[in-house]
Structure 1
Amino acid sequence: MPSRRSFLRTGALAGAGTLAAIVALPSPPDATPLDRTVEASEVPPSIAEWTDEPITGETDSPMVRYQYRPIDDVDTSDFDAFVATAPINVVLVPDADTDAAGLERVMTVLDDEGWLRDPEEYTRYAWDREASEFVRQQATAAETYYGTSGRLHVRCWSFEGIVSMQAHEDTGARPKHGIASYERGLEAMETAFDAAGWNVSPAAIDLDNAQRDYDGTAPVITEGDR
């Protein structure tokens, strides 16, 4: 029986209105089933100092709490010129020496799931506390390019060696994309990275950013031996 993710791809392929969309869609991958049992792990020492109390500000830790969009003209150093749109709901700690390398480690797992990088999407930003400015999404991926029939979709930023991810399930692309679920995006990341051998600590860090079906506590997913 085809998986839920392969079903989404089939629907998107049938509904895509352009040849480009058809070419962009990969063959259905051997995606990790969403009902996979995730083996819970301890929170890594590199994150432990931020797990005692809720993180309530964007400068409190390397993890960001929300993704943002500009209200008007883009002045990335003006915090008040942006408004939050969706909560960060997954935190990842890759085994890498640089932020760029860490993002690539994360994205490789999604590549193996059959996801596409840089899909059709809105531009969003996150606050970099070291640079004191908003930074455009650094890495993105989704199950399909357009998400005509809905899709799982993530945006990522890496600051100070920690990747903050906004994971969600989109509604269909017409008349425009909306958010169907944050929790299903979170669960998809837990199962995919667990299957890839990463350590998953569910509901490990309180980002104080509950929204809709997400309660504000994000899993911490760490690369390394179990």
Structure 2
Amino acid sequence: MRTRRSLLRTAVAAGAGTLLAIAALPSPPDSTPIDRTVEGSETPPAVDDWTDEPITGETDTPMVRYQYRPIEDGADPNEFDAFVATAPINVVLVPDDEVDGDGLERVMAVLEDEGWLRDPEEYTRYAWDRQESTFVRQQATAAETYYGTSGRLHVRCWSFEGIVSMQAHEDTGARPEHGIASYDRGLEAIESIFDAAGWAVASDAIDLDNEQRDYDGLASVITEDA
């Protein structure tokens, strides 16, 4: 199986010009460089069984595959078909279950230490909770800036059954209308930030079968290394 690490190395070797063409956002002086070299680690046992075959359903694992929006106002959150997918989950984080406290909050603390802001200006999105059979509003969000006037890195997160599913992306400028500039650049930024914070970025990726735009459907796996 080709891993996310091998895919990225192949992309650099075969298409460096394409990668360099992606517009880079200015970052705060003390922020972690997005192009930081990240050494892949072993896949954590908690997700090892999910790296062999593509995951094609929202009820197959605690991870979610997409974030969703309601098709119309007042949609019933218990009706799966009342919502439509908008963006792919591209990072899976595994907090250490032997550490006291909320694993999702420890994930967000890494971003806060990086200087990101919690609960920025953003659209409301949902993810499917397979245990409760209902859509759940984003549980934690963060971005480099509150409004993202000139673009920003931005994430939404959900934590189900001890696994954190993250949708990471780079936004376009907020005016005239906010949009997505890159999913892959958001993923790479999260890998770099969490690697610098001492978390482990696995060599293997999880195939969530949710490729979209510049994202190949292979979600990065990041483990808390307590």
Say whether the fold is shared (TM-score over 0.5). yes
| 99 and 149 in structure 1: CA distance in 2 versus 1, 3 angstrom threshold | farther
Aligned to 2:196: 195
Q: State yes or no: 1:65 paired with 2:65.
A: yes
In the TM superposition, residue 29 of structure 1 has moved relative to its aligned partner by: 5.7
In the TM superposition, residue 224 of structure 1 has moved relative to its aligned partner by: 1.4
Aligned to 2:140: 139
Work out the CA distance in 2 between the residues paired with 1:96 and 1:71. Answer: 36
Flag structure 2 segments of 5+ consecutive residues without an equivalent: 1-23
Flag structure 1 segments of 5+ consecutive residues without an equivalent: 9-27
Range with bigger deviation, 131-140 or 197-206: 197-206
Aligned to 2:78: 77
TM normalised by structure 1 equals: 0.86
Aligned to 2:18: none
Aligned to 1:31: 31
Work out the CA distance in 1 between the residues paired with 2:63 and 2:195. Answer: 21
For residue 52 of structure 1, what is the amino acid of its counterpart? Answer: D
1:104-145 Cα shifts (integer Å, max 9, x gaps): 010000001100000000000000000000000000000000
Q: State yes or no: 1:166 paired with 2:167.
A: yes
Aligned sequence identity (%): 79
Work out the CA distance in 1 between the residues paired with 2:64 and 2:139. Answer: 13
Q: What SS class does the counterpart of residue 192 from structure 1 fall into?
A: helix
Q: State yes or no: 1:175 paired with 2:171.
A: no
Q: Is the 8 A contact 2:142 2:154 kept in 1?
A: yes
Aligned to 2:115: 114
Work out the CA distance in 2 between the residues paired with 1:135 and 1:161. Answer: 15
| 173 and 196 in structure 1: CA distance in 2 versus 1, 3 angstrom threshold | same
Alignment of 1:1-20 (within 5 A): 7=26
1:83-106 Cα shifts (integer Å, max 9, x gaps): 000000000001246998011010
For residue 171 of structure 1, what is the amino acid of its counterpart? Answer: T
CA RMSD, Structure 1 to Structure 2 (Å): 1.7
Aligned to 1:48: 48
Work out the CA distance in 2 between the residues paired with 1:100 and 1:80. Answer: 35
1:184-219 Cα shifts (integer Å, max 9, x gaps): 000000000000000001451000000000000011
Work out the CA distance in 1 between the residues paired with 2:208 and 2:100. Answer: 21
Work out the CA distance in 2 between the residues paired with 1:143 and 1:99. Answer: 27
Q: Is the 8 A contact 1:199 1:221 kept in 2?
A: yes
